């Protein structure tokens, strides 16, 4: 799975939305509201839109420490543990090593880093190939957990990227 800039797919997303308004079938979407884990303040919303070969991700997160934060889709849609560990490990149906989503080998749940500004706000717009919302293939993310970590992802340490504590957790659900 590779990721690519959101800009080239914006036209495709707008076309899909236009078709939806004409009654031609709309985009397949999902959303994950993020809530802080115990002792943290991070929260936000991550929206997912299925496009050919992947999923557009639009994340808006607040309450973070300034700087980089690991950001992953996890195997279980369970945020019941105060520290978010109930979400399990990274979503990895293909059995790959953890790594940078810009490179060929990595978990399907590996995502680009969230980067928070001086006020603790982070935005991310990207497309991740190999993921689905419609249930087709092994890349289906509906019902999976979504975790924001306290530290940057080094994209090397196995199997987690050494991203530290889980500061926010959400569950991906269709809209």
List pLDDT tens digits, range 28-49.
999 999 999 999 999 999 999 9
pLDDT at 156: 92
Indicate which residue of 69, 100, 106, 110 is catalytic.
Answer: 110
Answer yes or no: 153 catalytic: no
Residue 129: pLDDT over 70: yes
Percent of the chain with pLDDT over 70: 86
Mean pLDDT along residues 110-131: 96
pLDDT at 25: 65
Say which residues have a Cβ less than 8 Å from residue 14's Cβ, sequence separation at least 6. none
Residues 72/74/78/84 CA torsion (nearest 10 deg):
-50
Q: Closest Cα partner for 86 from 164, 9, 166, 11? A: 166
**82-109 tens-digit pLDDT:** 999 999 999 999 999 999 998 888 989 9
Indicate which residue of 69, 100, 106, 107 is catalytic.
Answer: 107
pLDDT at 109: 92
Helices and strands (H, E) in the chain, number of each type: 1, 11
Question: Counting beta carbons within 10 angstroms of the beta carbon of residue 117, is it exposed (0 to 12), middle (13 to 18) or buried (19 or more)?
Answer: exposed
**52-61 tens-digit pLDDT:** 889 999 999 9
Contact criterion met (CB below 8 Å) for 63 and 40: yes
Indicate which residue of 69, 98, 106, 144 is catalytic.
Answer: 98
Indicate which residue of 74, 100, 144, 153 is catalytic.
Answer: 74
Indicate which residue of 72, 100, 106, 153 is catalytic.
Answer: 72
Residue 17: pLDDT over 90: no
Answer yes or no: 78 catalytic: no
Indicate which residue of 69, 100, 149, 153 is catalytic.
Answer: 149
Answer yes or no: 110 catalytic: yes
Domains in the chain, CATH or no CATH each: 3-174 (2.60.40.200)
Answer yes or no: 144 catalytic: no
Answer yes or no: 106 catalytic: no
Cα 44–Cα 133–Cα 16 angle in degrees, nearest 5? 90
Predicted TM-score (pTM) of this structure = 0.85
pLDDT at 104: 82
Residue 152: pLDDT over 50: yes
- Could you tell me the two tokens for 92? 């990895």
Residue 27: pLDDT over 70: yes
């Amino acid at each position: 799975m590779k990721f690519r800039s959101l800009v080239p797919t914006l036209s495709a997303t707008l076309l899909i939305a236009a078709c939806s308004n004409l009654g031609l079938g709309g985009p397949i979407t999902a959303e994950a509201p993020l809530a802080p884990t115990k002792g943290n303040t991070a929260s936000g919303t991550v929206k997912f839109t299925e496009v050919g070969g992947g999923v557009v991700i639009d994340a808006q997160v607040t309450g973070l420490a300034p700087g980089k934060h690991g950001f992953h889709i996890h195997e279980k849609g369970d945020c019941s543990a105060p520290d978010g560990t109930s979400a399990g490990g990274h979503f990895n149906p293909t059995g790959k090593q953890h790594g940078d989503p810009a490179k060929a080998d990595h978990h399907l749940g590996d995502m680009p880093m969230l980067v928070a500004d001086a006020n603790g706000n982070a935005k991310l717009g990207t497309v991740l190939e190999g993921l689905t919302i419609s249930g087709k293939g092994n890349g289906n993310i509906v019902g999976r957990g979504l975790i924001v970590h306290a530290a940057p992802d080094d994209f090397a340490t196995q199997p987690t990227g050494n991203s530290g504590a889980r500061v926010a957790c959400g569950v991906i659900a269709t809209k």
